[in-house]
Structure 1
């Protein structure tokens, strides 16, 4: 009995409970910046462009990596490109580069990008030198399919297209608005929609238009006098903004900022518009997304102030509309503020992790955005 107890005691110590292996930490994917770089030839002018991928590790920029280099025609000028699924670079013409495999998978430089619908890149071709119509390129299969003829489909509508794509508002000629819908004739929505131009203006201008839902747009009847117009032609005064120029040299316009606020720009002034409350609030900081903002006003030798969560982090000559943000990351096409306005000669990158700016010394044609 004593021997049995001793044996059990020995076995108990000879088979200790194994310690559990530590659970590996989940490392979040590191972001990477995608930039189109202008490259000069031996004689001086820009003669080609490079697509660059710039990784970030622990808040610091890694050396830039060339994804692809090609002619000017493939990229075109100054943006309009998209990033899809953190893998594909889609040009404004419908061309596609696979960022992972570093190659062109759809060589298109004469189309017009209409939309990206799932795995389909939709682009329209209008050229007498080739078959016209709406085409799709499938990112998965690599096949090109003709989806519609040159005059078919929702992407042929003229004007500012509604969110659902089946209607568009055309501003002008003159002070008249027109409704274009698939399968119906052009319809007038009324007159009196105008822009008050300065005597210094060298061109005419049509009233700006933006959709707030599939049945209603906002436009103007004179600078700062905003109206809603529905597709049945009912026009209703929305708000009258007093502190806008009486005459402008270029047309006012609308845009959505990084918080999806609707902003009305007239001359140097900007106002955030709330269609539900029928209010217009002076717009002093442009929301770039992810907590980053740029001052609306540009100041000589100071440029635009840049801030994060309300705290100023820098000043640059830059185009805030071209800024690209991700969580904790901002990229600007920039110049030092003290050098005055001019074409950007660098990309300035801020990361929250480093708490500082890093300058990427490339000549940017455009900053495309961030991928994981």
Structure 2
């Protein structure tokens, strides 16, 4: 009996039960904000710029980390940059900084960024001091290749370029629209496309134009009177936006908001345009993306109201078009609302995890965007 008990005791310990390790929790990548900061020299003027990365964890911001500092020419003025593959900062000139390695990998300050196609950064050079044409910088290999001559390729078309890059519309001179296509003569799409300007307007203005597909644009024949025009020149009345000013000082324009809605701006008014339903709806809150909105109207000493999912979360003097959003995150180039309108002197950041604003004491040249 003792032997049997001893045998069972030995067998029990020779085959121990192995406890399963807990399944590791999937931690979502934390966002980081990329900002270009103006830096002043001894004379008080801006003489260089810094590229900053501000990490966020659990809704809280880390101190700013300098990625790179350089001259004004590399960055230029007022944005136009983009982030690629959550690693590369591409300037509007075609220059590239590797955000991970914190160094310039393509030093270009005289080109015009055309597109980013896969790993290729495409930029056009028109300077008389160097070889002109369309060039590419490959993010993977680091090589620069000339893709086309100065007058070749789809990026040479003048005017508002179609989504596929194969055609462009020029508005003006006068009230005439022109179609430019690769390998074809310039073609008139008709006249009567005009802006009704105030006598106080200091400059002339051409009718605004935007593409709704590769064959049709929207424009106007007088303030608020919107028409579609196809590439054969067929003009069709679309809709008349109500309550727009009869005369304006600045040119009307179109843009796409954070929900990709087409917005028509004429003077202080804005309307959301639905080309399929042929409607123009008064636009009172600018969609910034990811549930964030800014009031269209700016109010002295109040600025723009900012809201998230319909709830007001703050008021700032800011330029809503420069706001950058990500899921649960918003960054604004801002001033306190009570200080009046002026250049931004800080970056205001909201995160849903913290449910509060954090103000970064940096002088923003531009907020570039969010990356993971």
TM-score by length of 2: 0.99
SS of equivalent residue, structure 2 residue 141 = coil
Question: Which string of whole-angstrom CA distances, capped at 9 and with x for unpartnered residues, describes residues 137-156 of structure 1?
Answer: 00000000000000000000
Aligned pairs, number = 372
Partners of 2:345 and 2:161 lie apart in 1 by 35
Partners of 2:334 and 2:6 lie apart in 1 by 80
* Corresponding residue for residue 118 of structure 2: 118
Partners of 2:242 and 2:353 lie apart in 1 by 43
Question: Which string of whole-angstrom CA distances, capped at 9 and with x for unpartnered residues, describes residues 73-108 of structure 1?
Answer: 000001000000000000000000000000000000
Partners of 1:2 and 1:42 lie apart in 2 by 93
RMSD over equivalenced CA pairs, Å? 1.0
Partners of 2:272 and 2:193 lie apart in 1 by 20
Partners of 2:343 and 2:203 lie apart in 1 by 25
* Corresponding residue for residue 96 of structure 2: 96
Partners of 1:3 and 1:272 lie apart in 2 by 89
Deviation at 1:221, TM superposition (A): 0.2
SS of equivalent residue, structure 2 residue 33 = strand
Partners of 1:184 and 1:173 lie apart in 2 by 20
Deviation at 1:18, TM superposition (A): 0.9
Partners of 2:207 and 2:79 lie apart in 1 by 25
Q: Which runs of 5+ in 1 are unaligned?
A: none
Question: Which string of whole-angstrom CA distances, capped at 9 and with x for unpartnered residues, describes residues 92-145 of structure 1?
Answer: 000000000000000000000000000000000001100000000000000000
SS of equivalent residue, structure 2 residue 333 = strand
1:34 aligns with 2:34: yes
Deviation at 1:320, TM superposition (A): 0.1
Partners of 1:169 and 1:58 lie apart in 2 by 47
* Corresponding residue for residue 312 of structure 1: 312
Q: Which runs of 5+ in 2 are unaligned?
A: none
Question: Which string of whole-angstrom CA distances, capped at 9 and with x for unpartnered residues, describes residues 7-26 of structure 1?
Answer: 14531245321111111111
Question: Which string of whole-angstrom CA distances, capped at 9 and with x for unpartnered residues, describes residues 217-250 of structure 1?
Answer: 0000000000000001100000012200000001
- Aligned counterparts, 1:195-344, within 5 A: 195-344=195-344
Partners of 1:313 and 1:344 lie apart in 2 by 19
Deviation at 1:308, TM superposition (A): 0.3
Deviation at 1:35, TM superposition (A): 0.2
Partners of 2:71 and 2:22 lie apart in 1 by 51
SS of equivalent residue, structure 2 residue 180 = strand
* Corresponding residue for residue 11 of structure 2: 11
Question: Which string of whole-angstrom CA distances, capped at 9 and with x for unpartnered residues, describes residues 256-288 of structure 1?
Answer: 000000000000000000000000000000000
Deviation at 1:6, TM superposition (A): 4.7
Partners of 2:140 and 2:113 lie apart in 1 by 18
Partners of 1:45 and 1:78 lie apart in 2 by 16
Question: Which string of whole-angstrom CA distances, capped at 9 and with x for unpartnered residues, describes residues 325-352 of structure 1?
Answer: 0010000000000000000000000000
Question: Which string of whole-angstrom CA distances, capped at 9 and with x for unpartnered residues, describes residues 30-50 of structure 1?
Answer: 100000000000111000000
Partners of 1:156 and 1:52 lie apart in 2 by 34
TM-score by length of 1: 0.99
SS of equivalent residue, structure 2 residue 7 = helix
Partners of 2:119 and 2:49 lie apart in 1 by 26
Partners of 1:219 and 1:129 lie apart in 2 by 38
Deviation at 1:161, TM superposition (A): 0.3
Partners of 1:361 and 1:271 lie apart in 2 by 35
Partners of 1:24 and 1:242 lie apart in 2 by 57
Name whichever of 237-246 and 8-17 sits farther off.
8-17
Partners of 2:77 and 2:185 lie apart in 1 by 35
Deviation at 1:57, TM superposition (A): 1.1
Deviation at 1:292, TM superposition (A): 0.2
Partners of 2:173 and 2:29 lie apart in 1 by 51
SS of equivalent residue, structure 2 residue 307 = strand
